[in-house]
Each structure stands twice: as structure tokens, then as C-alpha cells.
């Protein structure tokens, strides 16, 4: 059983297990063509609902999944960030998808840092990856800020096996060595 009260806090954000009330933001994000450009395109309300429930189910079955990201300043749901590993995935991923109004504010790096810390500490992961489209320079920049490096070309499971992706990532040791170096 998962702790549905699990929350992580950063200076500006709350990361928590998704709740029913988060669906409207999730569906709005799914309708945004620019936000979904590298994630298979826009989603109907039905598709967004299925995707939302799959992520909620991930928490129930696996004990982890993407967190809902809430901006502290106004309580607004601004996206989803966190651990995922669907069947057939190329590794333990920390992924991020933010609503367009939250782009360029440093939220992805801030939330992903908290999610990576949590995944290494609570899930015992030994490495993390980020599956990023080759032309998604914004996500590549986030990966670089997190200390991840390009590992090579990757492949997602069917039906996305023909979608070009790059695998960015790092080990637990690399993550904590970088974090320790910043505090010295």
C-alpha cells in the first residue's frame, strides 16, 4: 500500500502523489500541442484519463510514479515529474512534463532534483535515465543541469519503438558526488 500522503517539498514546489482533483490540469496539459509535441501528440479527454489512471495505478502497484507538481505560491497544479518505469522501458527514468506557463522558471530542475533524491533514497535505484527526443533541446538542458550526460540512442517499447529518443542519465554515485561537491 502506498502512502497517499507522501509529499516532497522544495523552495517553491510541492510534489505529491496525484489526486483526483489533479485530472483537470492533466487533461489541459494533454490538449496543449506544444507541451505534448515530444510525447506522442495531444490527448483527448479519454486518452488523458487513461494516462492519468495509469500513473495513479503505478503508485498503487509499483509504489512510485510521477508526482503532481504544485506551485506553493498559488496552489496551482503545473505538471508531473518523477520516477517511472513502464513495462519494456529502457531503464529507471525520472521524467518531467510541465504546463507551458511553468516553462523557463527552473521548476523542472527543482522538482526533478527532489524526485531523484527520493528515488535513490527510497527506491534504491542505482542509476536514472531520461528518455529525450533528439530535438527537445529544452529537456536536454534540464538533463544537463541535473548532471546527466548523453548515454546514446535508445528505444521505447511498441508502439513507440520507432520514435527517435536519446538516453540521458547518470549513476547514483555520480549524482551524490556532484551534490556533495556543490555543498563544499
Looking at residue 130, which CATH number applies to its domain? 3.40.630.30
Contacts of 130 (CB under 8 A, 6+ apart): 93, 94, 95, 139, 142, 143, 146, 148, 167, 168, 169
Give tens-digit pLDDT for 49-91.
999 999 999 999 999 999 999 999 999 999 999 999 999 999 9
135, pLDDT greater than 70: yes
The range of the structural domain enclosing residue 38 comes to: 7-183
Instruction: Indicate whether 44 belongs to any domain.
Output: yes
In the predicted model, what is the mean pLDDT of residues 162-178? 95
In angstroms, the CA 112 to CA 121 distance is 14
Give pTM, 2 decimals: 0.92
What domain count does the chain have?
A: 1
Instruction: Indicate whether 2 belongs to any domain.
Output: no
Res 184: pLDDT: 54
Half-sphere exposure for 138 (CA within 13 Å, toward CB)? 16
Instruction: Indicate whether 116 belongs to any domain.
Output: yes
Q: Would you mind telling me the total number of residues written for the chain in this entry?
A: 184
7, pLDDT greater than 50: yes
Instruction: Indicate whether 1 belongs to any domain.
Output: no
Residue 83 CA to chain centroid, in angstroms? 6
Amino acid at each position: 500500500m502506498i502512502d497517499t500522503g507522501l509529499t516532497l517539498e522544495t523552495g517553491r514546489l510541492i510534489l505529491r502523489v496525484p489526486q483526483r482533483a489533479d485530472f483537470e490540469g492533466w487533461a489541459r496539459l494533454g490538449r496543449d500541442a506544444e507541451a505534448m509535441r515530444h510525447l506522442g501528440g495531444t490527448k483527448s479527454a479519454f486518452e488523458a484519463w487513461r494516462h492519468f489512471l495509469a500513473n495513479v495505478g503505478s503508485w498503487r502497484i509499483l509504489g512510485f510514479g510521477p508526482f503532481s507538481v504544485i506551485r506553493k505560491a498559488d496552489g496551482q497544479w503545473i505538471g508531473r515529474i518523477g520516477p517511472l518505469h513502464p513495462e519494456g522501458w529502457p531503464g529507471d527514468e525520472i521524467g518531467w512534463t510541465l504546463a507551458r506557463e511553468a516553462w523557463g522558471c527552473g521548476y523542472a530542475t527543482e522538482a526533478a532534483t527532489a524526485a531523484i533524491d527520493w528515488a535513490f533514497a527510497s527506491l534504491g535505484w542505482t542509476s536514472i535515465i531520461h528518455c529525450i527526443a533528439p530535438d527537445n533541446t529544452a529537456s536536454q538542458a534540464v538533463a544537463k543541469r541535473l548532471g546527466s550526460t548523453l548515454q546514446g540512442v535508445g528505444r521505447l517499447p511498441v508502439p513507440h519503438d520507432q520514435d527517435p529518443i536519446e538516453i540521458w542519465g547518470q549513476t547514483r554515485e555520480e549524482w551524490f558526488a556532484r551534490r556533495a561537491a556543490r555543498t563544499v
